[in-house]
Structure 1
Amino acid sequence: GIRFWETPEYSGWLTKQGEMLRTWRKRWFVLKQGHLVWFKTNVVNERAVTRGEIPIESIDSVSVASEAAAGKPYAIHLEGALPARIGTKYLVADSERERSQWLEALQKAMRERTSTST
């Protein structure tokens, strides 16, 4: 398995919608080795349980989402063949700066996936 607690490519708080209830919840997201996973807290060690995962290869594009579309400011829109259980295609950052950094990290991870799979 991937050791998500060791030197992630990027990590931080993002808010996502729940799969069933559609309530917005803040989760600690970690990007590493082609996987975007999330945890309930930012205490990520070998005992931490992942709450969900999006394989980077299932994302076709990431972009800035309008507040009108996402219902919240600083949202990121994920497009692609995302696993149905993820429920939402919007991830919401706490600030414009955080959103930019996440977009950059996700786009970089997507480029790296593309170059390794061809």
Structure 2
Amino acid sequence: MKKLIISSAFIGRGRFVRQAGGIHRYGEVMLSIENSLGDLAFSWQVSQEQIPDIFKASVFNAVKRCFEINGSLDGFASSGLLVRILDGEFHEADSNEGSFMIATFMAISNALASRNA
């Protein structure tokens, strides 16, 4: 399996907004993917006002699912990567765990797409 070599951080933002049948969902996550030593590592750099702690586990679980289910993402090994959660936004009534998982998946996808830009 190839190792993802990152010369500068890949930045991605995921914004999940759904309004259907009176049900509204919202979550936004901005993250970076960088080189690190050791296993897949996380850094939570947001305040309660940006993303409340209640959604922290959902964000981390989404990162783990992206990188660890197959031990790789997009053909690259997940070891030696640091994922920093840099920014985010929530809505008092419309945010939930699922919204933040989807927003995190989107942010990772956008970050990895930026490496080809």
Structure with more relative contact order (C-alpha pairs < 8 Å, separation 6 or more): 2
TM superposition score normalised by structure 2: 0.31
TM superposition score normalised by structure 1: 0.30
